[in-house]
Amino acid sequence: MVIYLFSRFFLFILVILAGMTITFVIPRIGPADPVTAALNRVLIIDEYTDPEIIESMLSALKMAYGLEGTLWDQYVSFLQRAMLGDFGHSIFAPTMSVSEMIAIALPWTVGLLFTTTVLSWLLGNLIGVIAGYYRRRSTDLLQYLALIVQPIPYYIMALMVIFLFAYLVQIFPSSGAYSPGRIPTLDLPSILDILNHSFLPALSLVVGGYGWTFLRMQALVLTVKKDDYVLFAKMKGLSQNKVMTRYVMKNTMLPQFTQLAMRLGAIFNGALIMETIFAYPGLGYKLYVAITTFDLTLMMGIVTMSIFAIATAVLFLDILYPFVYPRIRFK
C-alpha cells in the first residue's frame, strides 16, 4: 500500500511539474510580447518620448512579468514563486496581486460549478438507473430528452436559456452575479439576489451535463442487469428496488465516480465559456480578460491553479478507487 501511494504521489508531482513547464513555455514561444503590449497601453494614455523613461518602464515591466535574466533563471523563479502562491501583480489591475484576484473570483466559480456539476451528476445517475432498469414509455421519453440535449454545444444551450428566460419571458437576469450597485453580503436579500442571478447559468450547466451522464448510466445498467449475480438475486425473491440499488447500481458506479472526479477537477476549464457568456465574475471570466489583454501573470496563475485542481482530482480518485470498488487492491 505504501508503494502504491508513493507511486501515485510521485505521478501527481510529475504531472504538476510538466503542466507548469508547458504553462511557462507556451507564452514565451508565441508571437505576442507581453512587455510591448503593456507598454503600448501605457503610451496610449501618456505619450512618453524620453528614451530613459521608456527604458526604465521596460525594465519595470520585465520584472513584473518575471522576464528578467536567462530562460532558465525565469523558469526557476516561476517555479519557486508558484510554490508559494506568488504569481506577481496583474498588469490589467496593477494594484492587486494575481493571488488576490484569484481569491476573489474563486468562490464564485467553485460555488456555482461545483454545485451544478454534482447536481447534474446525481440527476443523470438516478434517472439513468431507473430508465435502464425499468424500460417503460415514460423512461423512454427521458432517454429521448437526453439524446436531444447531449449533442447541443454548451454555448448554444446557454444562449437558448438566455433567450427563453431573460428576453422572451423575462423572469431572470441575463448576466452578472448580483444587481448593479449591490455589495454581496451574507444577508438574506443579498443571497436571494445572487441566487436569482445564478439560476440561468446553473440551469444551462445542469441541463448540459445531464445528458451524457444519463446515457452513460443507462448503458451500464442495461449491461449489468443481465449478469448472473443479478439474475440470482431476482431468483432469491428480492424486491426489484433492492436488486436495482444493491446489485445493479452499486456495480455501475465506478466509471461514474471517475467521470465525477474528472469533471470536478476540470470545473475551472468549463468556467471559461459559461462565465464569458453570462458575464459571471469567476475565474473563467478573469481568464478571458487575461487572454484578451495578454495579462501573462494572471493567465499563468489561473492555468497553474487549474492544473493543480485536475491533478489533485486524479490523485484523490486513485486513492479512493480501492475503497469504492473492492476488486481493485493496492499493489
Q: Assess if residue 32 is contained within a domain.
A: no
Q: Assess if residue 193 is contained within a domain.
A: yes
- Picking from 37, 109, 43, 112, the residue whose alpha carbon sits closest to that of residue 268 is 109
Which of 3-7, 54-58, 96-100, 198-202 is most confident?
198-202
pLDDT average, residue stretch 217-222 = 88
**Whether pLDDT at 212 is above 80:** yes
How many angstroms separate the Cα of 74 from the Cα of each of 66, 78, 296? Answer: 6, 6, 13
The CB-based long-range contact list for 242-248 (8 Å cut-off, 24+ gap) reads 244/129, 244/130, 244/133, 248/129, 248/133, 248/221, 248/224
Q: Assess if residue 90 is contained within a domain.
A: no
List the CATH number of the domain containing 149: 1.10.3720.10
CA distance 282 to 141: 36
Domain residues for the domain of 120 are 98-293
The fraction of the chain above a pLDDT of 90, given in percent, is 2
How many angstroms separate the Cα of 217 from the Cα of each of 91, 132, 141? Answer: 46, 8, 16
How many angstroms separate the Cα of 124 from the Cα of each of 68, 245, 320? Answer: 51, 15, 22
Q: Assess if residue 146 is contained within a domain.
A: yes
Pick 201 or 88 by higher pLDDT.
Answer: 201
Q: Assess if residue 40 is contained within a domain.
A: no
| Mean per-residue pLDDT of the chain | 82
Q: What is the pLDDT of residues 250-305, one digit of tens each?
A: 888 878 887 887 777 667 666 788 888 898 888 888 888 888 877 888 888 888 88
DSSP 97: B
Largest CA distance in the chain: 90
pLDDT average, residue stretch 59-76 = 77
Given pLDDT bands bounded at 50, 70 and 90, which one contains residue 325? Answer: low
State the total domains in the chain: 1
Beta-carbon contacts of 249 under 8 Å, excluding residues fewer than 6 positions away, are 129, 221
Q: Assess if residue 111 is contained within a domain.
A: yes
Q: What is the pLDDT of residues 126-181, one digit of tens each?
A: 988 888 888 777 777 878 888 888 888 888 888 999 999 988 888 888 888 888 87
Q: Check residue 14 and give its pLDDT.
A: 92
Percentages helix, strand, coil for the chain (3-state, rounded to 5) are 75, 0, 25
Q: Assess if residue 145 is contained within a domain.
A: yes
pLDDT average, residue stretch 174-192 = 84
| Residue 53, all three cell numbers | 523613461
Q: Assess if residue 18 is contained within a domain.
A: no
